[in-house]
Amino acid sequence: MESSQKNMVVQLRGIVKNFGKLEAVKKIDLDVEQGSLVTLLGPSGCGKTTILRMIAGLEHPTAGDIYIKGRLVNDIPIHRRNLGMIFQNYALFPHKSIFDNVAFGLKYRNVSKTDIKEKVRKALEMVRLPDVGDRYPSQLSGGQQQRIALARAIVIEPDVLLMDEPLSALDENLREDMRREIDNLQQMLGVTTIFVTHDQREALSMSDKIVVLNDGVLQQEGPPEDVYNIPTNRFVADFLGSSNFYPGRVMAKENGLYRIRLETGHEFLSNHPFNWNQGDKIELVIRAQKFYVYAENNAPDETLGNSFKGVIKDRSYMGGEVSYFIDLEGGLSIHVISIVNIRALKIGDRVAVDVSPRHCGLLPGQHSIAAS
C-alpha cells in the first residue's frame, strides 16, 4: 500500500453491485481514514446500505475490490472481518439476557469467561447502562435497546464499526440524545465508523466526511461544511437543505467577485471558489437559511452585498424558525428560512432581503440567456 494510504482503514476500488439487471452501485471508489466517522447519505434506494453490506461481507461485489486495513476481503467471510455492526431494528436476541447479548461476539473469539465479564462490564458502562446485565431486551426502552446494540458492537474492539440507519426507529427527542451519544463514544474510542442515513442533520452534525449518493453513483464527498456550502451539482444542493435555484450567466469578474445576471434581470455578486469565464451559463444556488430578511423600514444601512426589496406572499411559522416565500421587485420569487427574533413578519409585509456573495453558489447551467 502506498504511504499516503497507510492510514486508510477501509478502501473501495471500482465497486459495482448488480441485482439481476439492476445496477445498484456503480463503480464506487472510497477511502475511510483511521478513526474517522464517514456517513453515506442519500435517499432510499441510492445504494448506501448495499455498500455497507458489501463492506460487512453480507453481499459480494459484482466487480471491484474491498480492503480493510490493507487486506483484500472480497472472499473473507463476515465473522473474520472484525467488524461491529448496528442495525435499524437493533437485532438483539429476545431470549438472551443483556449480558449474553453483549457477550455474544466475544464467545466466538476464544475470550476467557473472566475477560468476557470484564469487557461486557466496561461496554455497559460506556453506554451508561451498567446495571441491566440481568434484564432482557423486552424490559428496556427503545433508546436503551439501541445502547445495548452499541455496546455489543464495540465490546469486540472492532477495526470498523458499521451502522445502518441506527436511529430511524427512535422518536425525535431520543434520536437527538442518541446522536450525541454515538458521536461522543466514537470520538472517545477512536473507532473507524461508517454510518448510513438519509437524515441530513445526522450527517451534518456527526460526520468527519459525508459521501452523498444517488442512484448508485457517488455525487460528492468531503467535510460537512464543504458539501453543504459548496455543492458540486444540483442534486447535492437540493438534497442537503432547502435551496433556491436560478438560471443565469456570468457577466464579469470584478474585484474577485463574479457578477451574475439572472433571466429575470436581477444581478447577484458571488465569490464562488471555482473558476468561471465571462458568458458561462450557470445556475445560481442560494440556501434558504442564508438570506437575511427585515421589515423594509428596519433594514440596516449597510448590506452584505446583494440587497433587494419585496413582499411576503406566504409563510409557515415553525416555532423558532419561520419559512417565508417572498416576491422580489422585478419578478423573482425566493424562499427564506429565518430565525424568529422578536416577532415573525406577516403576509403582505414589505421587506428588504440581503445575502452575502459567499453564500451565492454557482453550478453549471444548461439553459440559454441573452448576454449583454
User: Residue 321 contacts by C-beta under 8 Å, 6 or more apart in sequence?
Assistant: 337, 338, 339, 340
Closest to 345 (Cα-Cα) out of 325, 372, 365: 325
What is the crossing angle of helices 113-126 and 172-189, to 10°? 130
CA 111 to chain centre: 37
pLDDT at 6: 65
SS (HEC) of 314-325: EEEECCCEEEEE
Provide the pLDDT confidence category of residue 87 given band limits of 50, 70 and 90: confident
Q: Is 154 helix (H, G, I), strand (E, B) or coil?
A: helix
Rounded CA separation 114/333 (Å)? 68
Give the three cell numbers for residue 112. Answer: 476467557
**Mean pLDDT of the 8-22 span:** 96
Amino acid residing at 80:
R
The answer to whether 258 and 276 have CB atoms below 8 angstroms apart is yes
CA dihedral 252, 255, 257, 259 (to 10 degrees): -30
C-alpha cell at 124: 455497559
Q: Report residue 103 as a C-alpha cell.
A: 457477550
Domain 3-235 sits in CATH at 3.40.50.300
Residues 6+ apart with CB under 8 A from 310: 326, 327, 328, 329, 334, 350, 351, 353
Give the pLDDT band of residue 367 (cuts 50, 70, 90). very low
DSSP 3-state helix, strand, coil percentages of the chain (rounded to 5)? Answer: 25, 35, 35
Average pLDDT of the chain is 91
For the cut 70, the answer to whether the pLDDT of residue 366 exceeds it is: no
Q: Nearest-CA neighbor of 270 among 254, 290, 287, 281?
A: 254
- What residue ranges of the chain are covered by domains with CATH 2.40.50.140? 242-364
How crowded is residue 197: how many other Cβ atoms within 10 Å of its Cβ?
23
Which three three-digit cell numbers place residue 293?
430578511
Which CATH fold would you assign to the domain 242-364? Answer: OB fold (Dihydrolipoamide Acetyltransferase, E2P) (2.40.50)
152-177, pLDDT tens digit by residue? Answer: 999 999 999 999 998 887 888 888 88
Residue of 357, 268, 230, 253 lying closest to 304 (CA atoms): 357
pLDDT bin (cut points 50, 70, 90) of residue 318 is confident
Q: How do strand 160-164 and strand 83-86 relate by DSSP bridges? A: parallel
User: Can you name the residues that pair with 355 across neighbouring β-strands?
Assistant: 306
Is residue 1 scored above 50 in pLDDT?
Answer: no
pLDDT at 148 over 60: yes
59 Cβ contact partners less than 8 Å away, ≥ 6 residues apart: 17, 50, 53
Where in the chain are all domains bearing CATH 3.40.50.300?
A: 3-235
